[in-house]
């Protein structure tokens, strides 16, 4: 695994350099992709436990709006603080909703999380005075560690904030992945009852994964808010959550890098599909999704991993 | 008229609609064990087909009440055309896979159909108001109701009753019950499983389309009507217990009444009622009100 150890930092370095060389729109797409990739990472963690969240929009929008409120009501502009506020809001949302949701499995879990996110959607639409209803809120360019950012550099600044957040998130998730509790994830997915009989802390592992996953969802939400510069209730709509599940499936649950790679592929695919077939891009995405489900059960990475394994048995 | 009566009536009307759009979903889940996200798209297909048929029929200047008969026809058309295609083309290949993947496959189908509808019918709205206008209005204790609403109640009641009779009394219904009970043993008894699956799914699709067809005259049929219906239908079905027909009826009534009460008493809460009812029911009964018995595998 010596190559694997360097792959992460190397990819990180390449991405950092790319920020300077790529055209602006591509940097923007990359920012969005990485930010959404964090949410997808959260969805993927839950998938490892065998749970599919159709309501990550709850944390995604919750965090984005928490940051939006902090900007609107307290005039807060500092990116680091906004990110912290967003993640905190998501953890609170996850901590509370998890008390209920983490007790459910399979479709009931999916439906319950979906219901939670749709309640938030309803609140955001109805509380017009605070949230601006379906118009949403504007999110101005933040300051970075107290430094003013010129508007034309805002995009690049948010890109680096995102990149840094991704690095931190990957480190945290990897730590969990390789911890005893993290190893339980796959075991629970394979046979939960057996794990419980063996004395494994099933409910603790599920709850912890759920909260960690919500924190990732929140982190992604704030970053998307900062990069797009605008938030609206659609962030909480169930189709947004469905998109995350789709990307998680695209990437597979094979590793921490999978959701990020899946998100980049998806976001690029989507922008091209949208550009060339504005009326049929959902059709294209749906077809791609079906193809992945029917032909590539382990996600885009699975055939690659198999190929690597064949060469280095 | 007392508010209570109005709430009861409104609730009943809304519940009828809810039952119509969710009965097919619970039927399909009960037999195929697939929670079909594309159910809402089938509903939309039914609405569009019905709108097209109604408009075409009215343009011919034929006997006006015929527009009402055209509505169930749309359901039959969608059920027969799309049902087997989807079951044979997609679902049949993934029965052995995880339930979650099946959920995602139907989500993909939903995305595909969403654009397909736009490509076929275009982005502009369709107005198929004729059946609605035809029946006129009725005054009940100072409140004006469209007669069409009561037709909706009638359709939901008869659809529910027919479905129930079909499942419990007919030969095919008994086969379906055997399959629900144990698919593997059913095959050894000589039941053609894939035939049961394809027919049940087509029936479910026709029910979704029936809901859409009878909704079409009440709304302007536009892209995006599928999305909202899916979540609502899920809520009804989850509350009732996945796969239970009486459960769907009770779930529909519960949501219908609570929503009607919210509209009349606390209008702000209207948007949340469905989700709140669902969360409360799931809190008390994690598998819905009437869950079919399930074996726990160790």
Q: Which residues of A touch B94 (CB under 8 A)?
A: 293-294
Residue pLDDT, tens place only, A76-88: 788 888 889 999 9
User: Which pair of structure tokens corresponds to residue A255?
Assistant: 């590793």
Longest dimension (CA), chain A: 62
Mean pLDDT, range A133-155, rounded to an integer? 76
Is residue A256 within 8 A of residue A45, CB to CB? The reply is no
DSSP string, B44-108: HHHHHHHHHHHHHHHHHT--TTHHHHHHHHHHHHHHHHHHHHHHHHTGGGGTTS-HHHHHHHHHH
Chosen for mutation from A109, A277, A290 (greatest number of chain B CBs closer than 10 Å) is: A290
Is residue B223 pLDDT above 60, yes or no?
yes
Contact A114 B234 (CB under 8 A): yes
Name the residue among B73, B63, B108 with its Cα closest to residue B89: B108
Q: Which residues contact A61 (CB under 8 A, 6 or more apart)?
A: A117, A120, A121, A124, A221, A231, A233, A235, A236, A240
Report the share of chain B in percent with pLDDT over 70: 98
Q: Which residues of A touch B26 (CB under 8 A)?
A: none
DSSP string, A184-232: HHHHHHH-HHHHHHTT--HHHHHHHHHHHHHHHHHHHHHHHHHHHSEE-
User: Which pair of structure tokens corresponds to residue B221?
Assistant: 């049929």
- ipTM for the whole complex: 0.78
Residue A284: per-residue pLDDT: 83
Residue keyed to tokens 């991405």: A15
User: Which pair of structure tokens corresponds to residue A101?
Assistant: 């949701």
CA–CA distance, B43 with B31 (Å, rounded to integer): 20
Mean pLDDT, range B52-70, rounded to an integer? 82
Report the share of chain A in percent with pLDDT over 90: 14
Q: Which of A205-219, A295-309, B177-191, B217-231 has the highest mean pLDDT?
A: A205-219
Is residue A296 within 8 A of residue A302, CB to CB? The reply is yes
Helical packing angle, B39-60 and B99-121, nearest 10°: 20
Would you place residue B64 in the very low, low, confident or very high pLDDT band (cuts 50, 70, 90)? confident
Mean pLDDT, range A194-221, rounded to an integer? 89
Give residue ranges of B with CB < 8 Å to any A CB. 35, 37, 90, 93-94, 97, 99-101, 103-105, 107-112, 114-116, 118-119, 227, 231, 234-235, 238, 242, 268, 271-272, 275-276, 278-279, 282-283, 286-287, 296-298
Is residue A309 pLDDT above 70, yes or no?
no
pTM for the complete prediction? 0.84
Would you place residue A4 in the very low, low, confident or very high pLDDT band (cuts 50, 70, 90)? low
Q: Which residues of A touch B100 (CB under 8 A)?
A: 47, 50, 52, 106, 110
Would you place residue A300 in the very low, low, confident or very high pLDDT band (cuts 50, 70, 90)? low
Residue B41: per-residue pLDDT: 92
Q: What integer best gives the mean pLDDT of chain B?
A: 86
Checking DSSP bridges between strand A230-231 and strand B137-140, what pairing results, if any? Answer: unpaired
Residue A185: per-residue pLDDT: 84
Residue A312: per-residue pLDDT: 55
Residues comprising chain A, all counted: 313
Is residue A298 pLDDT above 70, yes or no?
no
CA angle B154, B125, B255 (to 5 degrees): 40
Residue B137: per-residue pLDDT: 82
Residue B37 backbone phi and psi in degrees, to 5 = -65, -30
Residue A20: per-residue pLDDT: 77
Contact B103 A50 (CB under 8 A): no
* Closest chain A CA to residue B224: A239
DSSP state of B285: S
């Amino acid at each position: 695994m010596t190559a694997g150890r360097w792959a992460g930092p190397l990819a990180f370095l390449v991405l950092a350099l790319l920020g300077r060389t790529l055209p602006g729109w591509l940097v923007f797409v990359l920012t969005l992709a990485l930010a959404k990739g964090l949410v997808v990472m959260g969805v993927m963690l839950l998938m490892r436990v065998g749970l599919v969240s159709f309501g990550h929009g709850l944390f995604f929008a919750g965090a984005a709006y928490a940051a939006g409120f902090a900007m609107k009501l307290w005039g807060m502009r500092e990116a680091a603080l906004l990110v912290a506020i967003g993640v905190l809001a998501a953890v609170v949302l996850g901590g509370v909703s998890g008390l209920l949701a983490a007790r459910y499995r399979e479709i009931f879990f999916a439906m319950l999380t979906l219901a939670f996110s749709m309640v938030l959607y309803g609140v955001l639409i109805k509380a017009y005075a605070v949230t601006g209803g379906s118009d949403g809120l504007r999110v101005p360019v933040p300051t970075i560690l107290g430094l003013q950012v010129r508007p034309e550099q805002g995009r690049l600044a948010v890109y680096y904030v995102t990149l840094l957040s991704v690095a931190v998130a990957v480190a945290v998730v990897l730590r969990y992945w390789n911890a005893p509790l993290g190893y339980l994830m796959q075991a629970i997915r394979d046979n939960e009852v057996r794990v419980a009989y063996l004395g494994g802390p099933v409910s603790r592992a599920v709850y912890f994964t759920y909260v960690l996953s919500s924190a990732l969802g929140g982190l992604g939400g704030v970053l998307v808010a900062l990069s797009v510069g605008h938030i609206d209730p659609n962030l909480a709509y169930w189709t947004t959550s469905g998109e995350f599940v789709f990307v998680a499936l695209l990437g597979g649950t094979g590793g921490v890098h999978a959701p990020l790679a899946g998100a980049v592929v998806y976001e690029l695919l989507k922008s091209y599909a949208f550009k060339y077939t504005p009326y049929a891009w959902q059709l294209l995405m749906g077809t791609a999704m079906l193809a992945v489900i029917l032909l590539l059960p382990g996600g885009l990475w699975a055939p690659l991993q198999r190929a690597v394994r064949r060469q280095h048995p | 008229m007392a508010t209570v009566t109005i709430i009861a009536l409104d609730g009943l009307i809304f519940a009828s609609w809810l039952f119509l759009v969710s009965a097919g979903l619970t039927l399909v889940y009960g037999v195929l064990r697939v929670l079909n996200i594309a159910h809402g798209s089938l509903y939309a297909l039914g609405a569009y087909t019905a709108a097209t048929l109604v408009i075409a029929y009215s343009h011919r200047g034929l006997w006006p009440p015929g527009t009402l008969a055209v509505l169930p026809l749309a359901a039959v058309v969608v059920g027969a055309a799309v049902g087997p295609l989807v079951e044979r083309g997609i679902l049949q290949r993934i029965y052995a896979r995880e339930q979650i993947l099946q959920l995602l496959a139907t989500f993909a189908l939903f995305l595909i159909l969403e654009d397909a509808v736009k490509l076929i019918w275009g982005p502009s709205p369709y107005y198929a108001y004729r059946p609605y206008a035809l029946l006129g209005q009725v005054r009940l204790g100072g409140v004006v109701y469209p007669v069409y609403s009561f037709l909706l109640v009638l359709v939901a009641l008869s659809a529910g009753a027919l479905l129930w009779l079909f499942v419990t009394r007919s030969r095919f219904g008994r086969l379906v019950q055997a399959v629900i009970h144990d698919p593997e043993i059913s095959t050894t008894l000589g039941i053609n499983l894939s035939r049961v699956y394809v027919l049940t799914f087509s029936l479910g699709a026709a029910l979704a389309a029936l809901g859409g067809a009878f909704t079409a005259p009440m709304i302007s049929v536009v892209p995006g009507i599928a999305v909202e219906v899916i979540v609502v239908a899920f809520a009804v079905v989850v509350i009732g217990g996945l796969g239970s027909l009486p459960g769907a009826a009770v779930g529909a009534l519960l949501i219908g009444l609570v929503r009607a009460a919210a509209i009349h008493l606390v209008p702000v809460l209207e948007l949340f009622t469905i989700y709140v009812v669902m969360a409360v029911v799931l809190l008390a009964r994690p598998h819905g009100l009437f869950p079919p018995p399930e074996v726990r595998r160790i």
